Amino acid sequence: MIRFENLTKSFRVAGHRRVVIDNLTLSLPAGRSLALLGRNGAGKSTLMQIIAGNMRPDHGRVVSDGTISWPVGFAGSFHPELTGAQNTRFIARVYGVDTGELQDFVRDFAELGHHFHMPVRTYSSGMRSRLTFGLSMGIEFDTYLVDEVTSAGDAAFRAKSKALFASRMEQAGALMVNHNLDELRRYCDAALVLEHGKLEYFEDLDEAIALHERNMGTA
């Protein structure tokens, strides 16, 4: 379960305060895979970063009784001078999982070859995405935060990523951002729509998608 309590986040834009999360109080059900819908700039990534603990709200808080992943695909926590293997071992220690098991999983899954033992600053964006996805899937979380990461790599790697993600979703929940509505329908069974700082929960995914498309039409 994830609960938002009076959550507010704003930014200064061109000298004006722009509110992207507006005094949000809402409880999300446990174990559900939720699509997070909203037009570009609505604040989806901001909300994901706040849930993950990577960004502070102006006020309010996020409460959870389970473990939450960092946003899959977000490589901001990597030390660029450390290798992929070293970053993996560090994250394993932070989350209290076996360092050797996680390193073996990420090395085999991410298919980075000798680059796994090279500094992350030398990685392409695709290599970083594969490393972060492997790390996220290598640790069992109650809720995964996902932002279109299964688009990284060639067709074979994307297929492998989607199969692994589907397997994880059998035992966990997710909050997922994806512009591909067919993929959202494949993985998600409910949805959230973020519009003008307000977040609305929908049991019916298609109802949420219809509202999102109407909002996009008025952008």
Give the three-class secondary structure for 57.
coil
pLDDT at 218: 62
| CA distances, 193 to each of 12, 150, 177, 202, 216 (Å) | 23, 22, 11, 8, 12
Confidence label for 35 from pLDDT (cuts 50, 70 and 90): very high
Q: How far apart are CA 62 and CA 205, in angstroms?
A: 24
The residues facing 192 across adjacent strands are 36, 201
- Sheet bearing 59-64, strands edge to edge: 16-28, 2-13, 59-64
**Least confidently predicted of 67-81, 177-191, 195-209:** 67-81
Q: Read off the pLDDT of residues 194-209 as tens digits, 9 standing for 90 and up.
A: 999 999 999 999 999 9
- Strands 68-72, 143-147: pairing kind: parallel
- Residue 192: the pLDDT is 97
Residue 117 has pLDDT above 80, yes or no: yes
For residue 191, pLDDT over 90 is answered with yes
What is the tens place of the pLDDT at every residue in 41-57? 899 999 999 999 989 99
Q: What does the pLDDT read at residue 144?
A: 93
| Residue, of 153 and 56, whose pLDDT is higher | 56
In this prediction, residue 161 carries a pLDDT of: 86
List 174's β-bridge partners, or say none. Answer: 33, 144
Cα distances from 21 to residues 50, 159, 190, in angstroms, run 10, 34, 20
Cβ atoms of 110 and 116 closer than 8 Å: yes
Which residues, listed in sequence order, are joined to residue 12 by a DSSP beta bridge?
17
Rounded Cα distance between 44 and 131, Å, is 23
pTM for the whole structure: 0.86
What band does 152 get if pLDDT is binned at 50, 70 and 90?
low
For residue 148, pLDDT beyond 80: no
Q: Indicate the pLDDT class of residue 153, thresholds 50, 70 and 90.
A: low
Q: pLDDT-derived band of residue 120, with 50, 70 and 90 as boundaries?
A: very high
